[in-house]
A and B are shown apart, each in its own frame.
Chain A
Amino acid sequence: MGNFMKIMNEGEIERILRSLCQRILRKKENLDNLVIVGIQRRGAILARRISGLIEDLKGQKIPVGSLDINLYRDDLSRISYQPVIRDTDIPFPVDDKYILLVDDVLYTGRTVRAALDALLDLGRPRKIELLVLVDRNCRELPIQADYVGKKIVVSPEKLVEVRLRELDKKEEVVIFQREKDEI
């Protein structure tokens, strides 16, 4: 593919996640109320890694859950494929918790909107903050992240994809040209 560009490799993803964790720890003195929830599927993987990194740094286990947002999508009757419903597994009450919501790419903001609705159906958290590995332009809703790994600006027809070894057998972030029929 001619229109293919790698913007992050394995080492950079690792380094960025570490620096995000340090930023979280600088802001939070007390981790007792912190829980991490990742959006299926790559956000859930990143959430587990972040929890592991914080444990390495602080020696404290942070509970991790995963959230499937497909039941909360606003485009179910418009998209041409049927999303596979994956597990939502949040093995702790979210009431009064500080939730760090994690996703791989922040794009239109619609996934995060769905995730917020899903989380609020599970209880009443004290606070929700958003962490993304990549923040790209083209937002369709007024949603912004609190922790951003890397901010990029690309033309609207480009796609940004995070690939993680657990799912994709490689570890990279790439930008490529969207196929015409995918729009």
Chain B
Amino acid sequence: MRFERKDLLDLRTISSEEIELILDTATSFREVLERPIKKVPTLRGKTIANLFFEPSTRTRLSFELSAKRLNADVINFSSSTSSVLKGESLLDTAKNIIAMKVDALVIRHSSPGVAHFLAKKLPVSIINAGDGAHEHPTQGLLDLYTIREKRGRIKGLNVTIVGDIAHSRVARSDIWGLVKMGANVKVCGPPTLIPKDVDKMGVKLTYFIEDALSGCDVVIMLRIQKERQKEAFLPSLQEYREFFSLSEEKLKLAKPDVLIMHPGPVNRGMELPAEVADSTRSVILDQVTNGLAVRMAVLYLLLTR
């Protein structure tokens, strides 16, 4: 199968065959990361620009390193040190970067749809690295990859996502991807943080973490975004911790070999107690390593079409 897309914008419109192809390709790149020389010449001569209009460490570093591992050149742009401050529009900024003969743009922005907008307007490949609360497709893919790597399959597994579903682009990409790959997905959180029509995405909903955890194979904990506290979605952070943090006690309801995942950054002691985050069931750091392999696969597939 050939990857026909110019861009990777979301997991909502991607097919399960395309997801399989990305994950299979990532498996080959995962092996490259174990070599003494962790670099292959595949994208020699290509240039990739990282445009980050929102703070990010993990994702930006991961994209930068993935590109470098493939021998592409990388330029980094962050809005705080750029002409955006002088009032240049997003499209003008992007067009100016492309005029420097760049082959792909990786974009992170607080507004949903920015990557889609640029993909329509520009001839180069656009990769969505997170657009507001909309999607974060490479995070969704690396979560799928990690589950498949650890369990050998995705189909039929019970996967629970706990936390602020409403404001989470990770949750949205995870849900689209997991449902497409045949997992049974449950979401769980306080009613104020669950989007209204979430059941239309093919998931089950519960407000009780005990229901969500019972018999589950994988639990994906989301970061509770402390800045949301100001908007009065939560009575108090202490109450949230009481009801929704993943304690050892609550974890006993899940399968004994349950995988614990988190997209990072972790609020230790908030959604995840430290001893759970550091336990052997936690695959949080594997997710980070796999993120490199998945992003290498995405860059390879988009830039060698």
Contacts and interface: CB of A to CB of B under 8 A. Distances in A.
Interface of A: 68, 70-73, 76-77, 81-82, 84-89, 117-118, 121-123
A113 B48 CA distance: 27
B120 interface: no
A77 B41 contact: no
B289 interface: no
B36 interface: yes
Contacts of B37: 121-122
Given A77-B45, A121-B37, 13 more contacts: A68-B28, A71-B41, A76-B42, A76-B304, A81-B2, A82-B2, A82-B301, A85-B25, A86-B28, A88-B28, A121-B39, A122-B37, A123-B36
Contacts of B40: 71-72, 118, 121
Interface residues of B, number: 21
A85 B36 contact: no
A82 B3 contact: yes
A71 B301 contact: no
Nearest to A118: B40
B304 A82 contact: yes
Contacts of B28: 68, 71, 85-88
A84 to B, nearest CB: 8
Contacts of A89: 31
A102 to B, nearest CB: 20
Contacts of A84: 24
B305 interface: yes
A85 B27 CA distance: 9
B31 A87 contact: yes
B42 A71 contact: yes
A88 B41 CA distance: 15
B216 to A, nearest CB: 31
Nearest to B21: A84
A68 B305 CA distance: 19
B266 to A, nearest CB: 33
B41 A117 contact: yes
Contact of B42 (A72, A86, A88): A72
Identify the 8 closest CB pairs spanning chains A and B, nearest first. Answer: A71-B40, A85-B28, A71-B42, A121-B37, A76-B304, A82-B2, A85-B25, A82-B304
Contacts of B300: 71, 85
Contacts of A76: 42, 304
Given A72-B40, A72-B42, A117-B41, A88 B31 contact: yes
Interface in B22-52: 24-25, 27-29, 31-32, 35-37, 39-42, 45
B36 A71 contact: no
A122 to B, nearest CB: 6
Nearest to A73: B42
A76 B103 CA distance: 14
A72 B29 CA distance: 13
Contacts of B3: 82
Contacts of B31: 87-89
9 contacts: A68-B28, A72-B41, A76-B304, A77-B304, A82-B304, A85-B25, A85-B300, A88-B31, A88-B32
A68 B41 CA distance: 13
Point out which of A85, A118, A121 has the most chain B C-beta atoms below 10 A from its C-beta. Answer: A85
A18 B46 CA distance: 45
B14 to A, nearest CB: 16
Interface string B1-17: 01100000000000000
Contacts of A73: 42
A39 B40 CA distance: 16
A84 B42 CA distance: 13
Interface string B277-298: 0000000000000000000000
A122 B2 contact: no
Contacts of B39: 121
Nearest to A123: B36
A123 B37 CA distance: 8
B304 to A, nearest CB: 5
A68 B24 CA distance: 14
